[in-house]
Amino acid sequence: MPADPGRVGLETLLRELELPAGLFGDCSDKLVDAWRARAARLYPSDLRASPAAIRLTLLAALCWRRRSEITDALVDLLIGLVHRVNATAERRVERTLTDDLKRVRGKQGILFRLAAAAVERPDETVRRALFPVVGEGTLRDLVREAEANERAFRAQVRTVLRGSYSGHYRRMLGPLLAALEFRSNNTAFRPVIDALDLLAQYAHVDGKRRFYGPEARVSLDGVVPAAWRDAVVNEHGRVDRIPYELCVLVALRDAIRRPEIHIEGATRWRDPEDDLPGDFEASRDVHYAALRQPLDSSEFIASLQ
């Protein structure tokens, strides 16, 4: 009897049969799931005894669903790893930062005085109620110190991220990205797709090579957030590979969750347009009526407002 796919791995995915794209494009998911379940219940001898058309259809459905299950699991693994890399770095920095970095001197007493003044005079403006209790200059100093602490915190997080990613996670994420095919119908996310292509081109380049070469086309806008620019691009305009890869992974994770980027061969992470009925454009009014939604988008927005 066919076994459960079991633990997901790259080797498992690479062993899957190469089935043509769109093999079950004209069949509903429920029908393919029924064929898969039927195949899973049969013994190999029962399959061999079945007519060729039935045997091949059931086996194809079984392999098709198995491949999509593994692809979905790999995407889940990718999202989980990216989250873990960032969350682990923040926890490590929070444990090692000194109390002075996170606590402004005398901040607790200042906050108590501000709270008391706000409760006693809730209808007054900030300038009339709070500034007499704590001077405007003191408040500005508190804001600047808090901002400096946050910048130091984020800088330390980036340092820890670089170390943990380059020393451990980078070896896992490279083959994982290579096993998946990413697509997007939204041109706004084209820079992320281009960045993934760049990572693939440099996959076999020595990891000790710190910067991308002058010939590399590196997408920054839409991939690298402003807070990371200084860490990614040095004073000479060269792009550091490791922090750039981290930015690409975060941008990819966020785009998959939206979902603006989909994965070929997946089910849960597939192209959202594949979820539409095959006759959606031709029978749009019928489908909208079944959903009890107006055809006019402005009418739909007005109802939400």
pLDDT tens for each residue of 88-106: 776 666 565 544 444 545 5
Q: Which residues pair with 240 in a beta bridge?
A: 211
What pLDDT, on a 0 to 100 scale, did the predictor assign at position 102? 45
Three-state DSSP at 211 gives strand
What pLDDT, on a 0 to 100 scale, did the predictor assign at position 280? 73
* 146: confidence class by pLDDT, cuts 50, 70, 90: low
CB-based contact 164:85 (threshold 8 Å): yes
Give the amino acid at 122: P
Q: Tell whether the model's pLDDT for residue 131 goes beyond 70.
A: no
Q: Which residues pair with 25 in a beta bridge?
A: none
Q: Tell whether the model's pLDDT for residue 248 goes beyond 70.
A: yes
Dist. CA 273–CA 217, nearest whole Å:
30
Q: Tell whether the model's pLDDT for residue 169 goes beyond 90.
A: no
Dist. CA 116–CA 105, nearest whole Å:
19
Query: Which is it for strands 262-263 and 182-183: parallel, antiparallel or unpaired?
Result: antiparallel
Q: How far is CA 233 from CA 178, 207, 240, 263, in A?
A: 25, 18, 6, 30
Q: Tell whether the model's pLDDT for residue 4 goes beyond 80.
A: no
- The lowest-confidence range among 34-48, 54-68, 126-140, 258-272 is 126-140
| Of residues 287 and 132, more confidently modeled | 287
Q: Tell whether the model's pLDDT for residue 165 goes beyond 50.
A: yes
Q: Tell whether the model's pLDDT for residue 263 goes beyond 90.
A: yes
Give the amino acid at 58: L
CB-based contact 252:223 (threshold 8 Å): no
Contacts for 286-289 with beta carbons within 8 Å, 24 or more apart? none
- Averaged confidence pLDDT in the chain: 77
Extract the tokens encoding 165: 């990613």
Ranges assigned E (strand) in the chain: 182-183, 262-263
* 76: confidence class by pLDDT, cuts 50, 70, 90: very high
CB-based contact 14:179 (threshold 8 Å): yes
Q: Tell whether the model's pLDDT for residue 185 goes beyond 50.
A: yes
Extract the tokens encoding 228: 């990371």
Q: Which residues pair with 239 in a beta bridge?
A: 233
* 43: confidence class by pLDDT, cuts 50, 70, 90: confident
Name the pTM for this structure.
0.66
What pLDDT, on a 0 to 100 scale, did the predictor assign at position 66? 85
- The lowest-confidence range among 36-40, 207-211, 237-241 is 207-211
State how far Cα 237 lies from the chain centre: 27
Dihedral sign for Cα 26, 28, 33, 39, please: negative
User: pLDDT tens across 195-234, in order?
Assistant: 999 999 888 888 778 899 888 899 999 999 888 888 888 8
